[in-house]
Chains A and B, each alone.
Chain A
Amino acid sequence: MNPLRAFALVLVAGFFVLWLRSPKNPKAALAYFRWVALACAASLILAPFLWLVAAAFKDREVLNEYIFFPPLPWSDRTMNLENFRRLFAGDASVQGKVYFWQYVLNSLFVTTTITVLELVFCSAAGFALAKYDFRGKKPLMTFMLGSMMIPSVLLLAPLYEMIVKLGLVDSYSALFLPYLAVPYGIFLFRQAMLGVPNEMLDAGRIDGASELYIYLRLVMPLVRPMSAAFCLITFIGNWNAFFAPSIFLHTQDKLTLPVVLNLYLGLYRADYGIFLAGTLIAILPPAILFFALEKEFIGGLTSGAVKG
């Protein structure tokens, strides 16, 4: 019997032992079941990550010999940086050699820019909708909420045509312009800013503050947790974006990580250590950001659903 199956049987047997000891009041058995089930679920979630880390550093020759890590002590024959060395050696293309760090920089640049722009556009519009009355506000709100139902792919065909006509194919503007003001972001900011008391704004006005000052210096600092959550969600979403970059970008040295890794799947089919190393690098930035800002992230994610 292999160790995994033996371990599973021991876990199941443990539950029955606890249950049979006090069938009337199975508190201990239930607590045991809870933690075992959660631990199993967590292991199943973590196993692919662990496997990815191991595979990225394992030598090509021993990749399939060990399931996860080879036994200690590791030598250069089993664990080395060969996959990363080949990954960073560069791809030949029409534009000459393109190095992997170029894609990382592209992704960082595109994602950061789009996050900052969306923060400005969405918070400004959210502020107008939360704190002012103006002509056409009602129909605008209705349209905005309605447009959340439009599947983004429906707009991609006409957008593509537009981008071609504007001569923006293969430029990053094609990735920024259509996604500057996402209705969901405006909605989040509006909801958060509704909670800012009007008296505070009026107090600022009496002191002679301009409307711009009120937005930048009074309201924005108060919705900072919301802004952090929004930036994080936007960053991670755009870091992983594939569809738009894959149709708008053409030149090799402008591609972003998801597009490149999808290309690598075809290029290195038989030699997957190299794109596993690339995948490992590609998932690091969102992970670092997330662990730094975990509370804000989950708070922002659920605020729309649970309060609404």
Chain B
Amino acid sequence: MKQRGLAPYVFIAPYLVVMLLFTLYPLLNAGVLAFQQTNGPASRAFVGFDNFRFLLSDPTFYQALWNTTIFAACSVLIQLPLSMGLALLLNSGKGWARGLLRLVLFSPNLVGQIFVGVLFSVLFTARYGLVNRFLQALFGWGLEKQWLQDPSLVMPAIVITALWLYVGFNMIYFLAALQGVDKTLEEAARVDGASRFQVFWHVTLPSMRHVVVFVVVTSLIGSYQLFELPLALLSASNGRGPDNAGLTVITYLYDVGFVTGDLGLGSAVGWVLALIIFTLSMLQIRVSGVAEE
């Protein structure tokens, strides 16, 4: 590899221009904005740490953080084990059925969160919704449940919808990782008398830990950016839900920054979110030790 005159600069120049104008400059600007109060894009006033002080004293913001954290926890504790289970079931299968099932389980990911929200807002209707009817037929429970109007059912409804949407997505990663696991190690453990679960827990899972860490962290990061799904699902209350039960950090940001028009406060929320995501990413790098890449 050698330096070849101007050629590399010509190839990298478009990215550089776009990056300087639309990433670096806005990033610095977001740093300034977080210390200002704005009223739409026109007027700005320096307010020091007031935005952050306001956030830390606003119970609504805490609720948004709490709701989002609950959602993130459900993603990791409910959705990922199910994705892993499906991947394990699918991994030992073969032939056309395997390909078809993989396709079917992945298919919801083609549908954007807004469209999924639109669809499920109807599926969760009391008495007539598909979810309500299904639960009633199978368990004799839930026909009249007001999923999207009852504060205690809003988060479960969001979690169920996200489960439908993403369970196949994470399964694809686990499935790809399972293909890379050394079969002879598993065989050896089984010959030594380990049960199926022991083989999975002590051999299979550790040898795919890089992918597991990757999936856990990207799920957490994605969960903290939840926005469009509850926005469409709970459109009657602009994504907040009854008693703000469906309010997420980004819905809060959208409200204060773009609906109310205080881009300064919106930026402050953005920085809190960035801090959370940065911490999670650092955790991934530490745990998986892939910093050399």
Interface residues, chain A, CB within 8 Å of chain B?
Answer: 2, 4-5, 8, 34-35, 37-38, 41-42, 44-49, 51-52, 55, 64, 67, 120-122, 124-125, 127-129, 131-134, 140, 143-144, 147, 149-151, 153-162, 164-165, 177-181, 186, 198, 211, 215, 236, 239-243, 247, 258, 261-262, 264-266, 269, 272, 275-276, 279, 282-283, 286-287, 290-291, 294, 298, 301-302, 305-306, 308
Contacts and interface: CB of A to CB of B under 8 A. Distances in A.
A155 B172 contact: no
A150 B15 CA distance: 17
Contacts of A67: 130, 133
Contacts of A181: 14-15, 18-19
Taking chain B's interface residues, is the majority helix, strand, or loop, or is none over half, making it mixed? helix
B195 interface: no
A127 B11 contact: yes
A155 B27 contact: yes
Nearest to A283: B111
Given A149-B278, A272-B122, A305-B173, A157 B105 contact: no
Given A151-B277, A155-B27, A258-B112, A243 B228 contact: yes
A61 B111 CA distance: 28
Given A38-B86, A125-B11, A308 B110 contact: no
B101 A42 contact: yes
Contacts of A2: 137
Nearest to B176: A302
A308 B13 CA distance: 27
A121 B121 CA distance: 38
A165 B41 contact: yes
Given A38-B90, A261-B118, A177 B273 contact: no
B70 interface: no
A121 B118 CA distance: 34
Contacts of B110: 236, 283, 286-287, 290
A187 to B, nearest CB: 10
B9 interface: yes
B104 A51 contact: no
B47 to A, nearest CB: 15
B246 interface: no
Contacts of A34: 89, 92-93
Contacts, number: 259
Nearest to B238: A266
A29 B274 CA distance: 49
B155 interface: no
Contacts of B18: 121, 177-178, 180-181
B119 A279 contact: yes
Contacts of A5: 137-138, 140
Interface residues of B, number: 95
A161 B18 CA distance: 17
B231 interface: yes
B281 A149 contact: yes
B85 to A, nearest CB: 8
Nearest to B127: A64
A51 B133 CA distance: 12
B107 to A, nearest CB: 7
A196 B290 CA distance: 24
Interface string B252-293: 011001100001001100110110011001000000001001
A48 B12 contact: no
Nearest to B31: A158
A132 B4 contact: yes
Given A133-B2, A240-B113, A276 B119 contact: yes
B1 A198 contact: yes
A51 B123 contact: yes
A18 B291 CA distance: 50
B80 interface: no
Given A153-B270, A198-B1, A302-B173, A159 B26 contact: yes
Nearest to A306: B176
Given A132-B7, A164-B41, A262-B235, 16 more contacts: A4-B134, A4-B137, A5-B138, A45-B168, A52-B119, A124-B14, A129-B12, A132-B2, A133-B3, A149-B277, A161-B263, A242-B228, A261-B114, A275-B118, A283-B110, A298-B172
Task: Pick from B21, B115, B210 the residue with the most CB of A within 10 Å.
Answer: B115
A121 B16 CA distance: 10
A51 to B, nearest CB: 5
B151 interface: no
Nearest to A37: B89
Contacts of B273: 151, 153-154
B227 interface: yes
B95 interface: no
B263 to A, nearest CB: 4
A198 B2 CA distance: 10
